[in-house]
Amino acid sequence: DQQVKQNSPSLSVQEGRISILNCDYTNSMFDYFLWYKKYPAEGPTFLISISSIKDKNEDGRFTVFLNKSAKHLSLHIVPSQPGDSAVYFCAAMEYGNKLVFGAGTILRVKS
Protein backbone atom coordinates (compact mmCIF):
# COMPACT_ATOMS: atom_id res chain seq x y z
CA ASP A 1 0.00 0.00 0.00
CA GLN A 2 1.96 2.98 -1.28
CA GLN A 3 0.74 6.05 0.56
CA VAL A 4 3.21 8.38 -1.16
CA LYS A 5 3.75 8.04 -4.89
CA GLN A 6 6.27 9.59 -7.22
CA ASN A 7 5.17 8.40 -10.62
CA SER A 8 8.10 9.74 -12.62
CA PRO A 9 11.21 7.61 -12.05
CA SER A 10 13.40 10.15 -13.83
CA LEU A 11 13.45 13.66 -15.24
CA SER A 12 15.97 15.34 -17.52
CA VAL A 13 16.17 19.15 -17.71
CA GLN A 14 18.46 21.64 -19.38
CA GLU A 15 20.56 23.85 -17.15
CA GLY A 16 18.80 27.15 -16.41
CA ARG A 17 15.33 25.78 -17.05
CA ILE A 18 12.68 24.83 -14.50
CA SER A 19 12.55 21.36 -12.94
CA ILE A 20 9.15 20.20 -11.69
CA LEU A 21 8.98 17.08 -9.55
CA ASN A 22 5.59 15.70 -8.61
CA CYS A 23 4.25 13.67 -5.72
CA ASP A 24 0.81 12.27 -4.85
CA TYR A 25 -0.41 10.90 -1.55
CA THR A 26 -3.42 8.93 -0.43
CA ASN A 27 -3.55 9.39 3.35
CA SER A 28 -5.63 12.45 4.21
CA MET A 29 -4.19 12.42 7.74
CA PHE A 30 -0.76 13.53 6.51
CA ASP A 31 -0.18 17.06 7.76
CA TYR A 32 3.44 17.82 6.97
CA PHE A 33 5.34 17.22 3.75
CA LEU A 34 9.05 17.28 3.02
CA TRP A 35 11.42 16.94 0.09
CA TYR A 36 14.79 15.27 0.51
CA LYS A 37 17.68 15.12 -1.92
CA LYS A 38 20.08 12.19 -2.09
CA TYR A 39 23.47 11.88 -3.74
CA PRO A 40 25.10 8.45 -4.26
CA ALA A 41 26.74 6.98 -1.16
CA GLU A 42 25.17 9.62 1.09
CA GLY A 43 22.06 9.72 3.23
CA PRO A 44 19.04 11.81 2.23
CA THR A 45 19.42 15.53 2.95
CA PHE A 46 16.48 17.72 3.90
CA LEU A 47 15.62 20.29 1.24
CA ILE A 48 12.31 22.01 1.95
CA SER A 49 9.02 21.36 3.72
CA ILE A 50 5.43 22.56 3.91
CA SER A 51 2.69 22.11 6.46
CA SER A 52 -0.86 21.30 5.48
CA ILE A 53 -2.09 24.76 6.48
CA LYS A 54 -0.09 26.34 3.65
CA ASP A 55 -0.20 25.94 -0.10
CA LYS A 56 3.24 27.29 -0.95
CA ASN A 57 6.67 27.53 0.64
CA GLU A 58 9.70 29.06 -0.99
CA ASP A 59 13.41 28.86 -0.18
CA GLY A 60 15.72 30.39 -2.71
CA ARG A 61 15.54 28.44 -5.97
CA PHE A 62 13.22 25.84 -4.42
CA THR A 63 9.44 26.17 -4.09
CA VAL A 64 7.03 23.52 -2.88
CA PHE A 65 3.34 23.70 -3.75
CA LEU A 66 0.63 21.76 -1.94
CA ASN A 67 -2.85 21.04 -3.33
CA LYS A 68 -4.70 19.34 -0.50
CA SER A 69 -7.91 18.73 -2.41
CA ALA A 70 -5.97 16.84 -5.08
CA LYS A 71 -3.58 15.27 -2.53
CA HIS A 72 -0.73 16.47 -4.70
CA LEU A 73 2.48 18.36 -4.12
CA SER A 74 5.23 19.51 -6.40
CA LEU A 75 8.77 20.81 -6.09
CA HIS A 76 9.91 23.52 -8.48
CA ILE A 77 13.60 24.27 -8.97
CA VAL A 78 14.35 27.49 -10.84
CA PRO A 79 16.86 27.85 -12.38
CA SER A 80 18.10 24.26 -12.45
CA GLN A 81 21.83 23.73 -12.03
CA PRO A 82 24.01 20.68 -12.78
CA GLY A 83 24.68 20.31 -9.04
CA ASP A 84 20.96 19.68 -8.55
CA SER A 85 21.34 16.31 -10.27
CA ALA A 86 20.36 13.79 -7.58
CA VAL A 87 17.50 11.58 -6.45
CA TYR A 88 14.62 13.56 -4.94
CA PHE A 89 12.30 11.94 -2.40
CA CYS A 90 8.91 13.22 -1.39
CA ALA A 91 7.95 12.35 2.19
CA ALA A 92 4.88 12.85 4.36
CA MET A 93 4.33 12.86 8.09
CA GLU A 94 1.28 12.23 10.26
CA TYR A 95 1.01 13.91 13.66
CA GLY A 96 4.76 14.48 13.91
CA ASN A 97 5.63 10.83 13.83
CA LYS A 98 7.45 8.81 11.22
CA LEU A 99 8.08 9.88 7.65
CA VAL A 100 6.59 7.89 4.75
CA PHE A 101 8.67 8.20 1.57
CA GLY A 102 7.94 7.93 -2.11
CA ALA A 103 10.15 5.86 -4.40
CA GLY A 104 12.10 8.89 -5.62
CA THR A 105 12.70 10.72 -8.89
CA ILE A 106 16.15 10.88 -10.49
CA LEU A 107 16.79 14.42 -11.72
CA ARG A 108 19.47 15.00 -14.34
CA VAL A 109 20.35 18.59 -15.17
CA LYS A 110 22.26 18.83 -18.43
CA SER A 111 24.78 21.62 -19.00
Residues that bind other proteins (CB under 8 A): 4, 6, 9, 32, 34, 36, 41-46, 49, 51, 89, 91, 93, 96-104
End-to-end CA distance of the chain: 38
Q: Which amino acid is at 14?
A: Q
Judged by beta carbon, residue 77 or residue 93, the one nearer other proteins is 93
Name the minimum Å distance from CB 96 to other proteins.
5
Name the minimum Å distance from CB 82 to other proteins. 23
